[in-house]
Amino acid sequence: MLFSSLTFIGFFLPIVLFLYFIIPQRTYRNAILLIASLLFYMWGEPKFVFLIMASVLFNYAMGILIARKPLKTLLLLAVSVDIGVLFIFKYLGFSCMIVNHLITFLHLNLVAVVDLALPIGISFYTFQQITYLVDVYRNPQLVQRNILNLGLYIVFFPQLIAGPIVRYHDIRLQIAERRESLDGVCLGFQRFIIGLAKKVLIANNMALVCDTIYAADFFSYGPAAAWIAAIAYTLQIFYDFSGYSDMAIGLAKIFGFNLLENFNYPYAAHSVTDFWRRWHISLTNFFRDYVYIPLGGNRCGERRTAANRGIVFFLTGLWHGAAFNFILWGLLHGAAMTVERALKLDDIKNKIGRQLYRIATLLAIIMLWVLFRNGTMSGLHLWQKMLGFNSLHHGVATNLWLFFVDCKFYIILAVAVLFAFPWWRGIKINTEAALSSILSVLKGAALIFLLLLCMANLANGTYNPFIYFRF
């Protein structure tokens, strides 16, 4: 079940809200959320609900054991099992393929490639389980002895399938002691509607054009269409991913939870390093705190720092998908950050130079998204086309790209580019009582209009892809 579906908006969410708020007792409210979360997951992945329930039971038991005896051996065992489950479902087939490539040279029998269905959200909830175990190891008093509360932390439906990754110590107290309020409900619905509009009105329209162009014969379009597709995907993945994060944060707010922000205008970054301070913040922070710093961070010299960064970005790429293009995408980001550090490009003082490097950074990010979206070889061929090479196309089909886009697309494209940058933060508004009331009414009317527009688009069966299956 997707947040951007009529089933969720018109059926699932209203029922959960009704049952949740008619029950005053915290324990029962948590039970309602846990049951709702399992039903939410079962809607799309019924056979894997037993896997996630088994994960909850395992991590609950290991958490208690680690709290009693905080031994590194127990922690490594528990984390290894969690990562092992993730490996089996997400990376075993990929690993078999790599082994087959290697043993072909030795003329040995090939290994049977295992092709398992990927449970949705397994990367997100696996990392949350790891944060719980590490937090308990570091501070045994944090152990959760109520299995329902731990289950709610792991399978909480607003952030179960698309994040953000919530760390246990950030939300532990909220599970038992949070307070719902009318203001929180209103703010939560506002954030949810904004996220829904990002997904339905912007991301889906970007996806339609991007997917149409990339699905066409490679030689039927030229550099212009390739750039349109690249820019469309750059905006699609941002508005899709940040839109889901907004919806998750808004839904959590309705139920009294305060989740941390996951995006901060990443395309306004002045460097690749700054991009990763703004993009998928919860993932960046996870790898920083649980991989980069334990490896030594930047405290062991330039070579060791570069190696640590390479490991982190190798894992970052691999986390996004079991394919070479994701690994290469991650490593190239890591390499760019290493070059920036060596040449001090992240701290350019000259204003003109800083703006030029900001543009260069954005172009590099766009090019890397092409690799991310299309695979290694296809991505490299598209790079050549975008740069004017390998752009031969067949006669009359040269201008086929004109049929992929229309006026509506360019209007949405302009809106998408406009709101991808925080230009509005510099606007100062006189907040007198009368004006404030008028603005509040206008804001409410705009949100209702956006919600109705999203509902109308969903009712019409508009293109609504889900890009998180690989995660």
Domain's final residue, options 143, 178, 213: 178
Domain's final residue, options 127, 144, 178: 178
Give the separation between CA 323 and CA 91, rounded to whole angstroms. Answer: 9
Q: Do 121 and 159 sit in the same domain of this protein? A: yes
Q: Do 10 and 141 sit in the same domain of this protein? A: yes
132 within some domain: yes
Q: Do 120 and 242 sit in the same domain of this protein? A: no
Q: Do 76 and 216 sit in the same domain of this protein? A: no
Query: Degrees (nearest 5) of the Cα angle 141, 26, 173?
Result: 30
Q: Do 120 and 157 sit in the same domain of this protein? A: yes
Residues with a known catalytic role: 320
299 within some domain: no
**Distance separating the N- and C-terminal Cα atoms of the chain:** 16
Please give the backbone phi and psi of residue 388, each rounded to the nearest 5 degrees, phi first: 95, 0
258 within some domain: yes
228 within some domain: yes
338 within some domain: no
CA distances from 96 to 114, 152, 205, 350 (A): 7, 35, 37, 50
For the stretch 194-246, pLDDT in tens is 999 999 999 999 999 999 899 988 888 888 889 999 999 999 999 999 999 99
Please give the tally of structural domains in the chain.
Answer: 2
Instruction: Please list the rounded mean pLDDT of every run of 10 residues in the chain (471 residues).
Output: 89 95 92 95 86 95 94 95 94 85 70 77 93 95 94 94 89 91 94 96 93 87 90 96 95 95 94 95 94 88 89 95 93 94 84 91 96 92 86 49 69 93 74 68 90 90 74 67
Q: Do 168 and 191 sit in the same domain of this protein? A: no
Q: Do 203 and 152 sit in the same domain of this protein? A: no
Q: Do 251 and 140 sit in the same domain of this protein? A: no
Please state, rounded to an integer, the average pLDDT across all residues of the chain: 89
Question: Amino acid letter at 127?
Answer: F
Q: Do 396 and 251 sit in the same domain of this protein? A: yes
Q: Do 157 and 172 sit in the same domain of this protein? A: yes
Q: Do 116 and 44 sit in the same domain of this protein? A: yes
Domain's final residue, options 178, 211, 242: 178
The pLDDT score that the predictor gives to residue 398 is 47
The pLDDT score that the predictor gives to residue 396 is 41
290 within some domain: no
367 within some domain: yes
Contact 268, 422 (CB under 8 A): yes
The pLDDT score that the predictor gives to residue 395 is 44
Domain residues for 383?
Answer: 185-270+348-459
Contact 136, 143 (CB under 8 A): yes
Written as six digits, the tokens of 307 are: 């190696």
The model's pTM: 0.91
Written as six digits, the tokens of 132 are: 């719980």
Can you give the length of the chain in residues?
A: 471
The pLDDT score that the predictor gives to residue 206 is 94
Q: Do 261 and 387 sit in the same domain of this protein? A: yes
336 within some domain: no
Give the separation between CA 222 and CA 209, rounded to whole angstroms. Answer: 15
The pLDDT score that the predictor gives to residue 397 is 45
